Amino acid sequence: DSLFVRDPKSGPLLRIQSMRKGTLKSPGILRDSGFSVSVKSFPEIPSTHSLTKHEGDEFRLEVRIKNTSGQDLENLAATTWLPAGWILRNDPHAQWERPIRHVDRRADRIVHHFDLASGREAVLRIPLRALQEGSYQGPEVVVEALYDNALRGHWKGPRARVEHR
């Protein structure tokens, strides 16, 4: 299918060709499928609806991702979005355990790349520091297969508060 559009000012005719038929799905309506995702904080935080830390506190998040798809999966990415008041700690002794292949560290997120066999679990340990006083949303974890948009998992964290010491 082709669509022809004319620019009203310059007059040339543009041809836009559809390479794939169908309706694009909105990312907001995708349902979790293929993974279960859970997150804990160490030292442990009381099970309330908010996470509270003090400025300068060092801790780690432990993200557990289980492959519930029933098939071996390759080329997965787990993105952990950090609240604005938290930063990744520079830990020279941090080692990423198998099945993690590559880690991309950014100011606002950390992305782990890995493969995961059916029924297996990946554990991501993320060293953090509470940096700036305030109330924030997060952290948030999104797991997805890079070449199959039907496979994804999501965990949205509670409110996170950093208090002044």
Instruction: State the average pLDDT for the chain.
Output: 77
- Whole-prediction pTM: 0.73
Q: Once rounded to an integer, what is the mean pLDDT over residues 75-100?
A: 81
Q: How many CB atoms lie within 10 A of CB 159?
A: 14
Residue in 40, 46, 56, 43 with CA at minimum distance from that of residue 133: 56
What are the backbone dihedrals phi and psi of residue 29, each rounded to the nearest 5 degrees, phi first?
Answer: -105, 0
20 pLDDT above the threshold of 60: no
Confidence class for position 11, pLDDT limits 50, 70, 90: low
